Amino acid sequence: KKTGKDNQNWKNSISEHERGLSINRNLNPQNKIWRESVYERDNHTCQLSGQVGGKLEAHHLYNWTKYPEKRYDLSNGVTIGKELHRLFHSLYGKKNTTPKQFEEFQKRFDSGEFNV
């Protein structure tokens, strides 16, 4: 498996600092503060299923890569269960995600389309 500049997904357009933030997002203190703030605002509750606590994740409504100015904006996050988060990204991908896609996903969830 090719890594670094030899990888087909390598982006020359981002700085080494930016690359480090993207790769180690969960280790980034600013992202940790954002994630915890999203959880607190949402009372540690999945905003789709109502699950309280457990395996929750903070989902970026506007994706991390394309919207760097929104990365740490509290209004750009929503708490959802880990399984639902994985399902969302398996359906919509990880790049170019938008709030409109999340609204559609929420409607699909509310209609009972998913058995999660």
CB 106 within 8 Å of CB 81: no
Helix (H) or strand (E) holding 57: strand 56-60
Phi, psi of 22 (to 5 degrees): -70, -45
Q: Which of 24-28, 62-66, 92-96, 111-115 has the lowest mean pLDDT?
A: 24-28
What is the pLDDT, as a whole number, of residue 3? 61
The rounded mean pLDDT for the chain is: 87
pLDDT, tens digit, 9 for 90 and up, residues 53-77: 999 999 999 998 889 899 999 999 9
What is residue 78's three-state secondary structure? strand
pLDDT, tens digit, 9 for 90 and up, residues 9-25: 656 665 655 655 555 56
Residue 72 one-letter amino acid: Y
Exposed, middle or buried by CB within 10 Å (0-12, 13-18, 19+), for 58? buried
